[in-house]
């Protein structure tokens, strides 16, 4: 009984540590919502304020009073409605500090404010930039969407849409919280390090197919059971070696406890 308690303690501790590490790695893996964001509550802004007023109050410090850009922020002239809508609705803008990395966060403004800002930013510059696409996923070709996603998107965003580091301090983000409009906007504007895909390179129908596949990836079927949040051999190897082998070692120690527990009292 003493022996049993001892090994239960040892292996129990090891299993707990293993599960904690696995769980932590799983939680920290891409694909989960980044709750590390600042506690940006949705700021209510009086709807009577014009887009320009909001812009001058919240954006001009980094992007310049006419959107011409400063040392702290890029020029927004000719950037178009899609860019502003993408940045504001995914919470990438506004940044806390200039030079912070952009990443998905809860949006800082409500819908009405965002609409006003987008309208204003779209008007900046001399020619119109990419407009907000109308991405209709119902009736889209899911198979063509998968093929296009694999060819054009998976190399950075991963086969599961979970994202991956692509070097240079940049990560292609997870797509698993992106609605079709966000996907369409990103494809057309090429935010951050992302390349640009114009209407001739990827037609609107093809973009809709890709967006439909991204929606599919948000809730993919998992006929094999629980899918570790990180898709791929890294997580699988971890589970097999830590959980699988760990459990087997515990079982081995129970099956053959060895000389000590067998001989009742005969210790030699």
What is the spatial distance between Cα 166 and Cα 203, in angstroms, rounded to a whole number? 26
Site for another protein in 231-260 (CB under 8 A): 231-234, 236-241, 243-245, 247-249, 251-260
Cβ distance to another protein smaller for residue 8 or 248: 248
Using the rule CB under 8 A, which residue among 17, 99, 155, 205 binds another protein?
155
Q: Are 214 and 157 in contact (CB under 8 A)?
A: no
Angle made by CA atoms 28, 248, 15, in degrees to the nearest 5: 40
Using the rule CB under 8 A, which residue among 39, 48, 71, 167 binds another protein?
167
Least CB distance from residue 5 to another protein, whole Å? 11
The reply to whether 19 sits near another protein by the rule CB under 8 A is no
Least CB distance from residue 38 to another protein, whole Å? 16
Least CB distance from residue 100 to another protein, whole Å? 13
What is the spatial distance between Cα 121 and Cα 89, in angstroms, rounded to a whole number? 14
Cβ distance to another protein smaller for residue 2 or 46: 2
Site for another protein in 110-129 (CB under 8 A): none
The reply to whether 98 sits near another protein by the rule CB under 8 A is no
Residue 165, φ and ψ in degrees, nearest 5: -70, 135
What is the spatial distance between Cα 143 and Cα 157, in angstroms, rounded to a whole number? 18
Angle made by CA atoms 235, 241, 246, in degrees to the nearest 5: 130
Of 170, 171, 175, residue with least CA distance to 159: 175
Using the rule CB under 8 A, which residue among 20, 21, 28, 42 binds another protein?
28
Cβ distance to another protein smaller for residue 115 or 253: 253
Would you give the distance in Å from CA 241 to the centre of its chain?
A: 27
Q: Are 162 and 149 in contact (CB under 8 A)?
A: no
Site for another protein in 29-48 (CB under 8 A): 29-30
| Interacting span for another protein (CB under 8 A) from 43-51, 132-140, 159-167, 177-185 | 159-167
């Amino acid at each position: 009984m003493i022996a049993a308690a001892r090994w239960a303690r040892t292996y129990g501790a090891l299993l707990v540590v293993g599960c904690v590490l696995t769980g932590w790695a799983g939680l920290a893996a891409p694909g989960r919502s980044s709750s590390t964001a600042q506690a940006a509550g949705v700021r209510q802004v009086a709807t009577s304020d014009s887009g320009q007023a909001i812009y001058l109050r919240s954006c001009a410090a980094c992007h310049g009073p006419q959107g011409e850009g400063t040392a702290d922020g890029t020029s927004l002239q000719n950037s178009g409605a899609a860019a502003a809508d993408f940045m504001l609705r995914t919470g990438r803008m506004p940044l806390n500090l200039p030079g912070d990395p952009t990443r998905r966060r809860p949006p800082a403004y409500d819908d009405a404010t965002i609409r006003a800002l987008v309208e204003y930013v779209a008007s900046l510059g001399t020619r119109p930039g990419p407009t907000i696409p109308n991405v209709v996923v119902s009736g889209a070709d899911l198979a063509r969407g998968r093929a296009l996603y694999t060819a054009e998107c998976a190399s950075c965003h991963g086969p599961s849409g979970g994202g991956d580091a692509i070097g240079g301090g940049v990560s292609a983000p997870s797509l698993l919280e992106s609605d079709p409009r966000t996907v369409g906007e990103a494809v057309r504007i090429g935010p951050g390090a992302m390349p640009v895909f114009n209407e001739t390179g990827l037609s609107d129908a093809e973009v809709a197919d890709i967006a439909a596949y991204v929606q599919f990836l948000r809730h993919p079927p998992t006929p094999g059971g629980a899918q570790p949040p990180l898709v791929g051999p890294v997580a699988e190897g971890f589970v097999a070696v830590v959980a699988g082998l760990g459990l087997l070692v515990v079982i081995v120690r129970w099956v053959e406890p060895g000389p000590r527990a067998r001989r009742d009292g005969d210790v030699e």
